[in-house]
Chains A and B, each alone.
Chain A
């Protein structure tokens, strides 16, 4: 069975500092990995994904993520956080389990303080 773990319910960071939101996964075969962001009372917005190729993926709003196969991780990073980055972040994995369903993590709430 495939699964996603986001070990931190909440991450606090000061504006201008680097941020990391952690994600580990379990899936058979090669994974497709995604990050989505959700602002209050809004839908989910796509940030970035890893399908194949370069392990470092760059996405929207200056975010990036690194695929680490040996550690089965896909941590989200940003060099310099903004207050406007405060939101709920979801990691997701899609792999073959008789179909290609996508499993989402429980989410990590990011607070960026001015």
Chain B
């Protein structure tokens, strides 16, 4: 079956521009998670949703970062006024059951963001 998909797969932007990264979870998955991963490092938690409700956004680095999941399915991570330090792989994951249950997260292929 279809896994988690993310778009675009690659995004190159200029410093100061806004970018929107999209995540399409596995159908029926109620929880959705966003991570940022530097090369050769572990994923860094950003935020997660149960259905449409954002449960924890403590990992968002600053107020330039925001995320939404308005209908409890597709989610968008938006970075405003991008800076070079935002360059990274942004990964999305989803789980069938709520995060509180310890259910397995399935990861998408990621979006490689490069800020020039």
B44 on the interface (CB 8 Å rule)?
A: yes
Q: Which of A4, A88, A98, A99 has the most CB of B within 10 A?
A: A99
**Given the complex of chains A and B, what is the CA–CA distance between A99 and B102 in angstroms?**
12
Bound together, the chains give a CA A107 to CA B44 distance in angstroms of 12
Binding stretch for chain A, among B22-30, B55-63, B70-78: B55-63
Q: Which residue of B lies closest to A91 (CB)?
A: B42
- Chain A interface helix/strand/loop/mixed: strand
Whether B43 and A49, one on each chain, are in contact in the complex, defined by CB atoms closer than 8 angstroms, is no
CB <8 Å contact, B109 and A100: no
Chain B, 8-65, CB within 8 A of any chain A CB = 33, 35, 40-45, 48, 55-56, 58-59
A-facing residues in B86-107 (Cβ within 8 Å): 91, 93, 98-102, 104-107
Q: Judge whether A99 and B107 touch: CB under 8 Å.
A: no
State whether A107 touches B107 (Cβ < 8 A): no
Chain B neighbourhood of A107, CB < 8 A: 40-42
Inter-subunit contact B55/A106 (CB<8 Å): no
Query: Is A22 part of the contact surface with B, judged by Cβ < 8 Å?
Result: no
* Contact, CB under 8 Å: B102 / A44: no
In whole angstroms, how far apart are the Cα atoms of A99 and B100 in the complex?
Answer: 8
Q: Which residues of A, 51-92, contact B by the 8 Å Cβ criterion?
A: 51, 88, 90, 92
